[in-house]
C-alpha cells in the first residue's frame, strides 16, 4: 500500500504525498489493494556488484577451478564473475573451454550467461566453439519455444564459419516453427547469417522463406521479416528482393495497425522505399499512414512523416486531399518539440529539412521555435536556424525581439548565431533591414568582442544586399577596428573599407595598418586585403600607388600560397594591360546575394527527405558520407510528380519555367547569375529607387582618373601596353559625369541612360464590358474589368439585377486558368441586390490557384452563383494585370538575357496610329509595370529597352522602336516562353492607346 | 541498426557493454569515453560521429547510456529505444544508478538480449517482459504458460499479459495540465497554450476493452448533428478544440483517425494514455495586473494585483508570483494583503507566496524599490512577471465524459469498476509583461 501511494505521488508530483490530493468526485479515498508492488526486492542479489571488484592475481586460475566445481551455485557465481570481467574489458578468453562446459544446463539464467560469453569469444576460439554446436542444435529442438528462440538467436551471433554450416538446418526449422516467437527470432537470424555469409543464405533459399513471412499471421513476425529483408536488400541494391507490389503493401499496411511500436517503424521505413504506381495509390497509402501521426513514439511519427512527405510528391497539388495532408502534418511536428531534448534535436534537424522543402507546412508556427531558457544548447541552436527560415514580413517584429534577447545570453556560440540571425533577417525581409541594422549597432556598442565581430560580418552582407543605404554606420564600424581578431571579421571589415574606399577618408591608412602584418594573417584576410587595396587604387589612384605595389609584391613574390599568388598576378596583369578592363572586373557590379543562406542543395535535400528520421537527416549528409561499404550508397530520390504536379505553376512555359523554379543558390556564382536573378524577387517597387545614373557617371570619370596613376605604375618594371597613356593625361578631377558617351557602341550605350524615368501613371485598365448579359442569366447582368491596384489584381464588376426579384447569396468561382488566378477572398456582396439595382464589387485575386493552360492564354472561365442559379461566363484579362512591380531588370542582366534567349523566340509586332513620343510611351508603360531600362537614339529612332515580369516569374524583354513623326511603332519581344508574346503585344497596344 | 550498447558511470568506466554487430569493434567503447565523456569541451550534440561511427547518448543522473552504430539508422528510434530501456530498467530495479546497475548486471544483459536482437528493438513492454524475464528461471512453466508468454510477446497486445486478476477492479485517471501564458501589460493574451497529459492507472482483471471519452469538439459536434439541435448548442459550448494529441501504443490509432474514438486495452498499472495540446478558449486561472511607475531615477513603485478566475468553491494552491527587480536595486519595501512576500536580492526579484486562494478573489501587493544611481545608459529590460500555481481543474476545459470498461469473458461489468478522476492544472511558463 505504501509503495502504491509513492508511485502515485510520482504522477502528481505533489510534495506532500497523498494528503493534499485534490479529488473531484465523491468517493472516499481508499488505497487500492493491488499487486503493483512489483518493485522486487533483490535481497539475494544485492551482492552482484562484488563481481566488479575482483582484481586479485591468479584470478583466472581461481575462476577456472570454480567453473569446474560440482556445485551449481558456485558455477553460476563463477560465470557471473567472468561476464563482469568481460564487461570491464579484461581478457577472459582463456576460460573458454571451462565456460562452454557449463552450457549443458537447464538453468536458463546460467545458459544465457554462457551464451553471452560465447558471442564474445567464439570468434577468437573458432575450434573450441564447435564444442557448443551440439548444445545449440539440441536446444533448437527444445519443447520450450523460449529456449528454441534463444538458441537460434545466439547461434546467429556466433560468427564462425563452421558453426554457420550447422546453423542452416535448425534455422530452416525455426523459420517454419509453430510458435510466432521463434519465427520472429528466426527472421532476424536470416539477416545475421546474411551478414556472415550472403552466398550461403541465397543458396539455402532462406530469402524466399523470409519473403513468405511477410504474409505471416503474426504482426511481429511480419515486422521482423520486413526489417531483415530491408537490410539484406540494402546490400544488394539491384536485386529485386523487396519487390513491393500493391498486394504486399496492403499486407504491410494491415500489419502496421497491429504490431509493436518498433515494428511500425520497420514497416514505415520500408514503405518509404516504395514508389506508388499512380497518385491514387499514393493517396490511399497516405490515408492509411496518417493515423500514425498520433503515435506517442516520436520515431513512428517521423517515419510516418517521411512516407507522407515522399508520397505527397505524387499527389496533384489541386487535389483537396493534398491540402488536407499539408494541414495534418503541422500539429505532430509541433508536438515533437515537447519530447525529450535528444528527440527534439532529431526532430528539429528534420524540421529544418521539411521547412526547406515545404515551407508552407509550418509557416504559421513560428512561436513554437522560440528558444526556452532551459533548452539544451543543441536544441537552442537548431531552433534558431528554423526561426530564420520561417521569418517573414508577418512575424519579423516578434522574431527580432527574440533574437535581440538571445544576443545577450551567455553561451558564445548561441550568441554569435543570434547576431548572425539578425543579419540574415535584414537580408531576408527588406522592411526589417533598418531595424536590424540599428539592433546590430546597439550590439556593437556593448563592446563584447565576439558580438562586435559577428555583427561586422553580417553588416558586410547587409551592405551588399542594400547598397547605398546604410553606409552611414561605417564610422562606427571603423571605431572597432582594433578589437577584431578573427579572420572572418577582419576580412569583412577589410572588404567594407575597400568597397567604400571613396567615402572613407583614411581608407589607405586603415588598409596599410593591416598590411603591416600581412604574412601573419590567414589566407582569407590576405586575399581580401589584396582585393581591397586594388579597389582602393582604382578609386584613388594617385595616393595609393605605393600601397598597391607593396601588396602586389607581397602577394606574388613573398607568398607561398598559390591562390594568393594567382590572384596577385591576375590583378597585376589586368592593371598593366588594360586598366579599363581592370576597372570593369574589379569594380564590377556584384551579383545579388541570395536571401536564403545555408540552403541545402536541392538534390541533396531531396535525398535527405527520403531519409527523414535517420542519421542522414541529423547530419544533413547523404548516408554515403558516413556509412562504410555498400550499404547506403544507393541514392534515394523523391518520386516524380504526376499530372499537374511540379510544373503546374507555369505549364505554358518551356525553359523559363525551369529557370524560374530552380531554388536560389546560396551565393550565386557568376556562371548562373542570370538564373538566380530571374528567380530572385528583386527589391520591390523600383519607382522610388535611386537612379542608376550616378554610378555609371562615376565610372566614366574614374576610368580616366586611372590614366595618370597607372601610367607611372606601368612605367616601372612591368612595361605598359602602347595603347595606354594616350588619353589619360587629364587631371583626375577634370572628368565629370557628363563625359560624352561613345557614339558607336551598340547596346553598350544602354549604360548611358540616366534615371530619366517619367512619373508613373496609373496602371492600364480596360473599360468595363458586359461579360454576362441579363438574358443568359435570369436577369443578372455582369459587366466588369480587371485592374491592378497597388500590386493587387482586382476583378471589378458591376452586378445589375434586371429581374423582378431580389438577388442574394452571391458567390464566385474560377475554373483553372493559365496563370493560376483565383479569388483571394469571397465575393463581398453584403446587401441583397433589389430589382433594377446595381452594385459595384471589387474582388481581389491571387495567383496561387490551380493552373491549366487556356486557349487563348488569358481566358478566364468564371462561375457566379446567386440565390437563383449558377451562371457561367468567360472573359479575357489583359496580360498587363500580371506584370509585377519588381519587373525591372538590371541592365547587365537584361543584356545577357537578351543575348541568351534564342532568336527564334523573338516576335515582332507593329503598333499603328500611336501618337506619343518615346518618353510619354515609356512613362505610360511604366504605370503598368513595364519598365524602361535603357533608351538610345539611332538615326532619329528612339529605341526603348523594356522588361516586365509576370506573376509566375516569366520575364519578357522588349525593344520598342519609336520614330519621330511616324505613328507606327515596332515592338520586338523576347521571352523564354514565346506563347505569351501575342498577349503581351496586345497589352502594349492597349496600354499605349489608352 | 544499433551496433552496440554501452552504459558508463560518471567516470567513464564501463558498467555494461553489449555488442550486437560485427562492425563495432572493442575500441568503440573507449572512443566514446575519450571523445564524449572525457571531452575537454562539453559535447554539444546528443549524436556524435567519431571515425565514421555514430554514438547516441542520453544521461540519467550521472549514468551515460550510449548506443553505437556504423549505419544510417533511424535516429529517432534509437533515442526512443534508449528512453524505453531506461523505463524498463526503472521498472525492474528502480532508479538508474551505478549501484543498481552493478547489482543487476546479469538481469540487464538478459533484458538487452531480449529487447534488442541484432540491433532491432523487439517487444520492450515491461508488462510482457516481466512474465518471462524474472531471474528465477522458467523451468516450472507448463506448455500452456509458455505459449501464452510467446503469443503475448509477439502478439498484438504486447503491453498486457493474460490472466491478470484483481479482487477489486479499479482505475485512476489523472488529467494533468500545464498552462502557459504570455500576456501584455494591458491584459492582452499574446500567446497561451495548454499541454496536457492523461495518466491512467488501471487495476483491472482480464483483458478489458476500454473506451475513453472527453469533450472533444469534433466528437461533440458530430454527435450534436445527429441529436437534438439545442442540446448540441449547449454542449458545443463546453467542448474543447484539441490542436494535436498523441497516444500510447495501446490506443487504436486508425479508429481514432476515422471515428475519433479512443479505444484500447490498457496496460496494467500506470501509464500515460495520451498527451494533447490546446490553444483555444483556455481558462486562465489567474490574471496578473501590473503597474510599474518610475519615480525619479532612483525609485520604482510597483503594484501588482492578481485575480483568480475560477469557481469560488475551488481552491488554488502553491501560488507564487515573481516580480523582477532592476539589477541596481538597493532596497525594497513590500506590503501585501495576503501571503508572504520577500525581496530576494540574489534572484533579483520579489517573491510573493500565497498558500491557498479561492476562486473569484483578488489580492494585491505593492512595493517600493529603491535604486542606486548608475551611469548605465541601457534601460532596464523589464523582464515579465511570472507566476506558479496549482488548481484543481483543467485549464483547457477538458472534461472526462466517460471511461467505459468491457470485459466479456469475466463476470464484472462497467458498473463494478471503481473509477477515480481528478484534474490538476499547473502553471507552465505563465508570464505577464510589465
Cis amide prior to A754 (ω within 30 degrees): no
pLDDT number for residue A621: 92
HEC string for B360-378: CCEEEEEEEEEECCCCCCC
Range with the poorest average pLDDT among A923-937, B90-104, B334-348: A923-937
Query: Which residues in A lie closer than 8 A to residue B258 (C-beta atoms)?
Result: 291
Q: How far apart are CA A187 and CA A196, in angstroms?
A: 15
pLDDT bracket for residue A62 (50, 70, 90): confident
Return the exposure string of A276-300: e unless at least 16 CB atoms fall within 10 Å of the residue's CB, then b: beebebbbbbbbbbbbbbbbbbbbb
Mean pLDDT, residues A881-907: 82
For residue A770, the cross-strand partners are A783
pLDDT number for residue A531: 92
Q: How far apart are CA A657 and CA A704, in angstroms?
A: 43
Highest mean pLDDT among A341-345, A576-580, A687-691, A839-843: A341-345
Mean pLDDT, residues A5-12: 34
pLDDT bracket for residue A630 (50, 70, 90): low
A303 pLDDT exceeds 60?
yes
CB A892 within 8 A of CB A900: no
Residue B120 lies in a domain: yes
Contact between chains at B106 and A48 (C-beta distance less than 8 A): yes
Q: How far is B76 from chain A (nearest CA, A)?
A: 5
pLDDT number for residue A56: 57
Mean pLDDT, residues A486-501: 90
pLDDT number for residue A38: 37
Tell me, yes or no, whether B335 and B399 share the same domain: no
pLDDT number for residue B139: 53
CATH number at residue B403: 2.60.40.1170
A58 touches B: beta carbon within 8 Å: no
B316 pLDDT exceeds 70?
yes
Query: Which residues in B lie closer than 8 A to residue A145 (C-beta atoms)?
Result: 146-147, 150
Contact between chains at B105 and A413 (C-beta distance less than 8 A): no
Q: Does residue A620 come out as left (phi exceeding 0), alpha (psi in the -120 to 50 range) or beta? A: left
Q: How far is A295 from chain B (nearest CA, A)?
A: 5
Residue B328 lies in a domain: yes
pLDDT bracket for residue B46 (50, 70, 90): very high
State the sign of the Cα–Cα–Cα–Cα dihedral B222, B228, B229, B233: negative
Contact between chains at A296 and B247 (C-beta distance less than 8 A): yes
Mean pLDDT, residues A655-681: 37
Tell me, yes or no, whether B187 and B39 share the same domain: no
CB A878 within 8 A of CB A929: no
pLDDT number for residue A159: 86
Query: Which residues in B lie closer than 8 A to residue A120 (C-beta atoms)?
Result: 19
B54 pLDDT exceeds 90?
yes
Q: How far apart are CA A636 and CA A828, in angstroms?
A: 48
Query: Which residues in B lie closer than 8 A to residue A83 (C-beta atoms)?
Result: 105-106, 109
Mean pLDDT, residues A665-669: 38
Contact between chains at A257 and B269 (C-beta distance less than 8 A): no
pLDDT number for residue B171: 92
A344 pLDDT exceeds 80?
yes
Query: Which residues in A lie closer than 8 A to residue B139 (C-beta atoms)?
Result: 106-108
Contact between chains at A88 and B252 (C-beta distance less than 8 A): no
Closest residue in chain A to residue B119, using alpha carbons only: A188
A68 pLDDT exceeds 70?
yes
Mean pLDDT, residues A507-534: 89
**CA A36 to chain CA centroid, nearest Å:** 50
Contact between chains at A181 and B154 (C-beta distance less than 8 A): yes
CB A591 within 8 A of CB A673: yes
DSSP state letters, B154-165: HSTTTTS-TT--
A608 pLDDT exceeds 70?
yes
What is the CB neighbour count within 10 angstroms for residue A905? 17
**pLDDT tens digits, residue range B368-411?**
999 888 766 556 667 889 999 999 999 999 999 999 999 888 88
What is the CB neighbour count within 10 angstroms for residue B27? 12
A749 or A618, greater pLDDT: A618
State the sign of the Cα–Cα–Cα–Cα dihedral A840, A846, A847, A850: negative
Residue percentage of chain B with pLDDT more than 70: 94
Cα–Cα separations (whole angstroms), residue B260 to B226, B242, B246, B398:
16, 12, 12, 16
Tell me, yes or no, whether B41 and B102 share the same domain: yes
A945 pLDDT exceeds 60?
yes
HEC string for B54-75: EEEEEEECCEEEEEEECCCCEH
pLDDT number for residue A713: 42
Closest CA to A120 of B253, B25, B202, B288: B25
B421 pLDDT exceeds 50?
yes
Q: How far apart are CA A658 and CA A615, in angstroms?
A: 32
CB < 8 Å from B in window 744-763 of A: none
Tell me, yes or no, whether B399 and B321 share the same domain: no
Tell me, yes or no, whether B292 and B401 share the same domain: no
pLDDT number for residue A417: 92
pLDDT bracket for residue A728 (50, 70, 90): very low
Which of B79, B107, B128 terminates a domain? The answer is B128
Mean pLDDT, residues A791-809: 84
B141 pLDDT exceeds 80?
no
Query: Which residues in B lie closer than 8 A to residue A265 (C-beta atoms)?
Result: 74, 77
Contact between chains at A21 and B117 (C-beta distance less than 8 A): no
Pick from B22, B73, B76: CB nearest A298? B76
pLDDT number for residue B120: 96
Closest residue in chain B to residue A91, using alpha carbons only: B26
Q: How far is A180 from chain B (nearest CA, A)?
A: 7
Question: What 8-state DSSP symbol labels residue A883?
Answer: B
Closest residue in chain B to residue A268, using alpha carbons only: B74
Residue B133 lies in a domain: no
Pick from A260, A294, A632: CB nearest B71? A632
Cα–Cα separations (whole angstroms), residue A42 to A178, A632, A940, B103:
36, 45, 105, 9
Pick from A84, A181, A335: CB nearest B153? A181
Residue B147 lies in a domain: no
Query: Do the annotations mark residue B70 as ligand-binding?
Result: no
pLDDT number for residue A47: 56
Tell me, yes or no, whether B376 and B426 share the same domain: no
Tell me, yes or no, whether B324 and B306 share the same domain: yes
Query: Which residues in B lie closer than 8 A to residue A299 (C-beta atoms)?
Result: 74, 76-77, 79-80
Pick from A179, A219, A295: CB nearest B246? A295
Mean pLDDT, residues A188-194: 93
Looking from the CA of A152 toward its CB, the CA atoms found within 13 Å total 29
Q: How far apart are CA A790 and CA A784, in angstroms?
A: 19
Contact between chains at A23 and B422 (C-beta distance less than 8 A): yes
Contact between chains at A146 and B138 (C-beta distance less than 8 A): yes
Q: Write the CB contacts of A446 (distance below 8 Å, at least 6 apart in sequence).
A: A452
pLDDT number for residue B16: 93
Residue percentage of chain A with pLDDT more than 90: 23
Range with the poorest average pLDDT among A456-465, A536-545, A578-587, A708-717: A708-717
A543 touches B: beta carbon within 8 Å: no
Tell me, yes or no, whether B276 and B361 share the same domain: no
pLDDT number for residue A113: 87
A131 pLDDT exceeds 90?
no
**pLDDT tens digits, residue range A22-34?**
333 333 333 333 3
pLDDT number for residue A42: 37
A641 or B246, greater pLDDT: B246
Q: How far apart are CA A972 and CA A946, in angstroms?
A: 10
Residue B32 lies in a domain: yes
Query: Which residues in B lie closer than 8 A to residue A628 (C-beta atoms)?
Result: 23, 52, 70
Q: How far is A671 from chain B (nearest CA, A)?
A: 35
Mean pLDDT, residues A468-485: 85
Pick from B113, B149, B203: CB nearest A32? B203
A944 pLDDT exceeds 90?
no
Range with the poorest average pLDDT among A581-595, A653-667, A956-970: A653-667
Tell me, yes or no, whether B405 and B267 share the same domain: yes
A652 pLDDT exceeds 80?
no
Cα–Cα separations (whole angstroms), residue A188 to A184, A200, A630, B13, B325:
7, 16, 20, 31, 62
Residue B150 lies in a domain: no
Pick from A260, A292, A615: CB nearest B73? A615
pLDDT number for residue A104: 79
Tell me, yes or no, whether B396 and B368 share the same domain: no
CATH number at residue B89: 3.30.450.60
CB A192 within 8 A of CB A156: yes
Q: How far apart are CA A92 and CA B94, in angstroms?
A: 31
pLDDT number for residue A731: 37
Tell me, yes or no, whether B50 and B174 share the same domain: no
Query: Do the annotations mark residue B353 as ligand-binding?
Result: yes
Rg of chain B over CA atoms, in angstroms?
Answer: 27
Q: How far apart are CA A628 and CA B52, in angstroms?
A: 8
Residue B226 lies in a domain: no
Tell me, yes or no, whether B77 and B172 share the same domain: no
A748 or A535, greater pLDDT: A535
How many domains, chain B?
A: 3
Pick from B153, B256, B269: CB nearest A36? B269
Identify from A1, A11, A383 which residue to disrupt to test chain B contact, counting B C-beta atoms within 10 A and taking the largest count.
A11
CB A109 within 8 A of CB B135: yes
Q: How far is B354 from chain A (nearest CA, A)?
A: 16
A569 or A657, greater pLDDT: A569
Closest residue in chain B to residue A7, using alpha carbons only: B270
Closest residue in chain A to residue B251, using alpha carbons only: A295
Residue B323 lies in a domain: yes
Query: Do the annotations mark residue B342 as ligand-binding?
Result: yes
A218 pLDDT exceeds 70?
yes
The ipTM, to two decimals, is: 0.84
**pLDDT tens digits, residue range A224-278?**
999 999 999 888 766 677 778 888 899 999 999 888 999 999 999 999 989 888 8
A654 pLDDT exceeds 80?
no
**pLDDT tens digits, residue range B223-242?**
766 554 444 444 445 789 99
Q: How far apart are CA A28 and CA A535, in angstroms?
A: 87
Query: Which residues in A lie closer than 8 A to residue B8 (C-beta atoms)?
Result: none
Question: What is the domain extent for residue B216?
Answer: 168-221+238-280+392-430
What's this model's pTM, rounded to 2 decimal places? 0.69
Pick from B19, B71, B117: CB nearest A185? B117
Mean pLDDT, residues B152-176: 86
Closest residue in chain A to residue B316, using alpha carbons only: A22
**pLDDT tens digits, residue range A547-568?**
898 899 889 888 888 999 999 9
Q: How far apart are CA B235 and CA B217, in angstroms?
A: 9
Mean pLDDT, residues A38-62: 57
Identify from B8, B36, B106 which residue to disrupt to test chain A contact, counting A C-beta atoms within 10 A and taking the largest count.
B106
Question: What 8-state DSSP symbol labels residue A670?
Answer: S
Query: Which residues in A lie closer than 8 A to residue B247 (C-beta atoms)?
Result: 294-296
Range with the poorest average pLDDT among A118-122, B44-48, B394-398: A118-122
Amino acid at each position: 500500500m505504501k509503495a502504491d501511494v509513492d508511485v502515485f505521488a510520482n504522477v502528481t508530483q505533489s510534495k506532500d504525498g497523498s494528503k493534499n490530493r485534490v479529488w473531484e468526485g465523491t468517493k472516499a479515498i481508499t488505497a487500492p489493494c493491488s499487486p503493483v508492488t512489483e518493485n522486487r526486492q533483490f535481497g539475494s542479489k544485492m551482492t552482484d556488484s562484488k563481481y566488479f571488484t575482483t582484481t586479485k592475481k591468479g584470478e583466472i586460475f581461481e575462476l577456472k577451478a570454480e567453473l569446474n566445481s560440482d556445485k551449481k551455485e558456485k558455477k553460476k557465481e563463477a560465470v557471473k564473475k567472468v561476464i563482469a570481467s568481460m564487461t570491464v574489458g579484461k581478457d577472459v578468453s582463456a576460460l573458454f573451454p571451462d565456460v562452454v562446459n557449463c552450457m549443458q544446463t537447464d538453468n536458463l539464467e546460467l545458459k544465457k550467461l554462457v551464451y553471452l560469453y560465447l558471442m564474445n569469444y567464439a570468434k577468437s576460439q573458432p575450434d573450441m566453439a564447435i564444442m557448443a554446436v551440439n548444445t545449440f542444435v539440441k536446444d533448437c529442438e527444445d519443447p520450450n519455444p523460449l529456449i528454441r528462440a534463444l538458441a537460434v538467436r545466439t547461434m546467429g551471433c556466433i560468427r564462425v564459419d563452421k558453426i554457420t554450416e550447422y546453423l542452416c538446418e535448425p534455422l530452416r526449422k525455426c523459420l517454419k516453427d509453430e510458435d510466432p516467437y521463434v519465427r520472429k527470432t528466426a527472421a532476424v537470424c536470416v539477416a545475421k547469417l546474411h551478414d556472415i555469409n550472403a552466398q550461403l543464405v541465397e543458396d539455402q533459399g532462406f530469402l524466399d522463406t523470409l519473403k513468405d513471412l511477410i504474409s505471416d499471421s503474426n504482426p511481429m513476425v511480419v515486422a521482423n521479416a520486413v526489417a531483415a529483408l530491408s537490410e539484406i536488400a540494402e546490400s544488394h541494391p539491384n536485386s529485386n528482393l523487396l519487390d513491393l507490389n500493391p498486394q504486399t503493401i496492403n499486407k504491410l499496411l494491415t500489419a502496421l495497425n497491429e504490431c509493436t511500436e518498433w515494428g511500425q517503424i520497420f514497416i514505415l521505413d520500408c514503405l518509404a522505399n516504395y514508389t506508388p504506381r499512380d497518385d491514387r495509390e499514393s493517396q490511399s497509402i497516405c490515408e492509411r499512414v496518417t493515423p500514425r501521426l498520433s503515435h506517442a513514439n516520436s520515431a513512428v511519427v517521423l517515419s510516418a512523416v517521411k512516407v507522407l512527405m515522399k508520397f505527397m510528391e505524387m499527389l496533384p497539388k489541386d487535389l483537396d486531399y493534398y491540402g488536407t495532408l499539408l494541414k495534418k502534418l503541422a500539429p505532430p511536428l509541433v508536438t515533437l518539440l515537447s519530447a525529450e531534448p535528444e528527440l527534439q534535436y532529431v526532430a528539429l534537424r528534420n524540421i529544418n529539412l521539411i521547412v526547406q522543402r515545404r515551407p508552407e507546412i509550418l509557416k504559421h508556427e513560428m512561436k513554437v521555435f522560440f528558444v526556452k531558457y532551459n533548452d539544451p544548447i543543441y536544441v537552442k541552436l537548431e531552433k534558431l536556424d528554423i526561426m530564420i527560415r520561417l521569418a517573414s514580413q508577418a512575424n519579423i517584429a516578434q522574431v527580432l525581439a527574440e533574437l535581440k534577447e538571445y544576443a545577450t545570453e551567455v553561451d558564445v556560440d548561441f550568441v554569435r548565431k543570434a547576431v548572425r540571425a539578425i543579419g540574415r533577417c535584414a537580408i531576408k525581409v527588406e522592411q526589417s533591414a533598418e531595424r536590424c541594422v540599428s539592433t546590430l549597432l546597439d550590439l556593437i556598442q556593448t563592446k563584447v568582442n565576439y558580438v562586435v565581430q559577428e555583427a561586422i560580418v553580417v553588416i558586410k552582407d547587409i551592405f551588399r544586399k542594400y547598397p547605398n543605404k546604410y553606409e552611414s554606420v561605417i564610422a562606427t564600424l571603423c571605431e572597432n577596428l582594433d578589437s577584431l581578431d578573427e579572420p572572418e571579421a577582419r576580412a569583412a571589415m577589410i572588404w567594407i573599407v575597400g568597397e567604400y574606399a571613396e567615402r572613407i577618408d583614411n581608407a589607405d591608412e586603415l588598409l596599410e595598418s593591416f598590411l603591416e602584418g600581412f604574412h601573419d594573417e590567414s589566407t582569407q584576410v590576405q586575399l581580401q586585403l589584396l582585393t581591397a587595396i586594388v579597389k582602393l587604387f582604382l578609386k584613388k589612384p594617385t595616393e595609393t600607388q605605393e600601397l598597391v605595389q607593396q601588396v602586389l609584391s607581397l602577394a606574388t613574390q613573398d607568398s607561398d600560397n598559390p591562390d594568393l599568388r594567382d590572384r596577385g598576378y591576375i590583378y597585376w596583369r589586368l592593371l598593366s594591360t588594360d586598366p579599363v578592363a581592370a576597372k570593369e572586373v574589379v569594380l564590377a557590379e556584384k551579383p545579388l546575394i541570395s536571401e536564403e543562406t545555408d540552403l541545402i542543395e536541392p538534390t541533396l535535400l531531396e535525398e535527405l527527405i527520403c531519409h527523414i528520421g535517420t542519421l542522414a537527416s541529423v547530419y544533413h549528409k547523404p548516408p554515403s558520407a558516413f556509412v562504410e561499404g555498400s550499404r547506403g550508397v544507393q541514392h534515394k530520390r523523391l518520386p516524380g510528380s504526376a499530372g499537374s504536379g511540379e510544373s503546374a505553376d507555369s505549364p505554358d512555359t518551356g525553359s523559363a519555367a525551369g529557370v524560374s523554379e530552380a531554388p536560389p543558390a546560396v551565393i550565386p556564382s557568376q556562371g548562373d547569375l542570370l538564373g538566380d536573378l530571374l528567380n530572385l524577387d528583386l527589391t520591390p517597387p523600383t519607382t522610388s529607387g535611386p537612379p542608376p545614373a550616378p554610378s555609371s557617371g562615376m565610372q566614366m570619370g574614374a576610368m580616366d582618373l586611372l590614366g595618370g596613376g597607372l601610367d607611372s605604375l606601368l612605367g616601372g618594371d612591368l612595361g605598359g601596353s602602347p595603347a595606354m597613356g594616350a588619353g589619360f593625361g587629364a587631371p583626375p578631377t577634370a572628368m565629370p559625369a557628363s563625359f560624352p558617351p561613345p557614339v558607336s557602341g551598340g547596346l553598350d550605350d544602354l549604360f548611358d541612360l540616366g534615371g530619366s524615368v517619367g512619373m508613373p501613371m496609373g496602371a492600364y485598365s480596360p473599360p468595363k464590358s458586359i461579360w454576362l448579359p441579363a438574358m443568359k442569366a435570369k436577369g443578372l447582368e455582369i459587366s466588369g474589368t480587371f485592374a491592378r491596384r497597388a500590386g493587387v489584381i482586382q476583378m471589378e464588376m458591376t452586378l445589375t439585377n434586371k429581374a423582378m426579384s431580389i438577388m442574394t447569396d452571391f458567390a464566385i468561382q474560377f475554373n483553372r486558368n493559365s496563370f493560376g488566378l483565383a479569388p483571394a477572398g469571397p465575393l463581398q456582396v453584403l446587401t441583397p441586390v433589389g430589382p433594377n439595382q446595381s452594385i459595384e464589387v471589387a474582388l481581389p485575386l491571387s495567383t496561387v490557384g490551380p493552373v491549366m493552360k487556356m486557349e487563348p492564354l488569358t481566358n478566364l472561365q468564371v462561375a457566379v452563383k446567386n440565390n437563383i442559379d449558377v451562371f457561367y461566363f468567360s472573359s479575357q484579362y489583359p496580360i498587363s494585370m500580371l506584370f509585377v512591380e519588381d519587373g525591372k531588370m538590371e541592365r547587365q542582366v537584361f543584356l545577357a538575357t537578351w543575348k541568351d534567349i534564342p532568336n527564334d523566340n523573338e516576335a515582332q509586332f507593329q503598333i499603328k496610329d500611336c501618337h506619343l513620343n518615346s518618353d510619354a510611351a515609356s512613362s505610360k508603360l511604366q504605370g503598368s509595370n513595364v519598365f524602361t531600362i535603357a533608351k538610345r537614339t539611332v538615326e532619329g529612332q528612339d529605341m526603348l529597352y523594356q522588361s516586365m515580369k509576370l506573376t509566375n516569374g516569366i520575364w519578357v524583354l522588349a525593344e520598342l522602336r519609336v520614330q519621330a513623326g511616324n505613328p507606327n511603332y515596332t515592338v520586338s519581344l523576347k521571352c523564354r516562353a514565346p506563347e505569351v508574346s501575342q498577349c503581351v503585344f496586345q497589352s502594349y497596344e492597349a496600354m499605349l492607346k489608352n | 541498426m544499433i551496433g552496440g550498447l554501452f552504459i558508463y558511470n560518471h567516470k567513464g568506466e564501463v558498467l555494461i557493454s553489449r555488442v550486437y554487430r560485427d562492425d563495432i569493434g572493442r575500441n568503440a567503447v573507449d572512443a566514446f569515453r575519450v571523445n564524449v565523456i572525457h571531452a575537454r569541451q562539453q559535447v554539444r550534440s546528443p549524436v556524435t560521429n567519431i571515425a565514421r561511427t555514430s554514438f547516441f547518448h542520453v544521461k540519467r543522473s550521472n549514468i551515460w547510456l550510449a548506443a553505437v552504430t556504423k549505419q544510417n539508422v533511424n535516429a529517432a528510434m534509437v533515442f526512443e529505444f534508449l528512453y524505453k530501456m531506461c523505463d524498463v530498467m526503472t521498472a525492474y530495479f528502480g532508479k538508474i544508478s551505478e549501484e543498481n546497475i552493478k547489482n543487476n548486471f546479469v538481469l540487464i544483459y538478459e533484458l538487452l538480449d531480449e529487447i534488442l536482437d541484432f540491433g532491432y528493438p523487439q517487444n520492450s513492454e515491461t508488462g510482457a517482459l516481466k512474465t518471462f524475464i524474472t531471474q528465477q528461471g522458467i523451468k516450472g512453466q507448463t506448455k500452456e504458460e509458455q505459449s501464452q508468454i510467446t503469443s503475448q510477446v509477439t502478439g498484438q497486445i504486447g503491453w498486457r499479459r493474460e490472466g491478470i486478476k484483481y479482487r477489486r477492479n479499479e482505475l485512476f485517471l489523472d488529467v494533468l495540465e500545464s498552462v502557459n501564458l504570455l500576456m501584455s501589460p494591458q491584459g492582452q493574451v499574446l500567446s497561451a497554450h495548454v499541454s496536457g497529459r492523461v495518466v491512467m492507472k488501471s487495476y483491472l482483471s482480464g483483458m478489458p476493452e476500454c473506451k475513453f471519452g472527453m469533450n472533444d469538439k469534433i466528437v461533440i459536434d458530430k454527435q450534436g448533428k445527429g441529436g437534438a439541435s439545442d442540446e448540441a448548442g449547449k454542449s458545443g459550448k463546453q467542448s474543447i478544440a484539441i490542436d494535436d494529441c498523441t497516444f500510447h501504443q495501446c490506443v487504436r490509432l486508425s479508429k481514432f483517425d476515422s471515428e475519433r474514438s479512443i479505444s484500447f486495452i490498457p496496460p496494467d498499472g500506470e501509464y500515460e494514455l495520451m498527451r494533447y495540446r490546446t490553444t483555444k478558449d483556455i481558462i486562465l486561472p489567474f490574471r496578473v495586473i501590473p503597474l510599474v511607475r518610475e519615480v525619479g531615477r532612483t525609485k520604482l513603485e510597483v503594484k501588482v494585483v492578481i485575480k483568480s478566475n475560477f469557481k469560488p468553491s475551488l481552491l488554488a494552491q502553491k501560488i507564487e508570483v515573481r516580480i523582477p527587480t532592476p539589477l541596481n536595486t538597493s532596497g525594497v519595501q513590500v506590503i501585501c494583503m495576503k501571503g508572504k512576500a520577500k525581496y530576494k536580492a540574489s534572484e533579483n526579484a520579489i517573491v510573493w507566496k500565497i498558500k491557498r486562494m479561492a476562486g473569484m478573489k483578488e489580492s494585491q501587493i505593492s512595493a517600493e524599490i529603491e535604486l542606486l544611481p548608475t551611469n548605465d545608459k541601457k534601460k532596464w529590460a523589464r523582464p515579465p512577471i511570472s507566476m506558479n500555481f496549482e488548481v484543481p481543474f483543467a485549464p483547457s476545459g477538458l472534461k472526462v465524459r466517460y471511461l467505459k470498461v468491457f470485459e466479456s469473458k469475466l463476470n464484472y461489468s462497467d458498473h463494478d469498476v471503481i473509477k477515480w478522476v481528478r484534474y490538476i492544472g499547473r502553471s507552465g511558463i505563465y508570464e505577464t509583461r510589465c
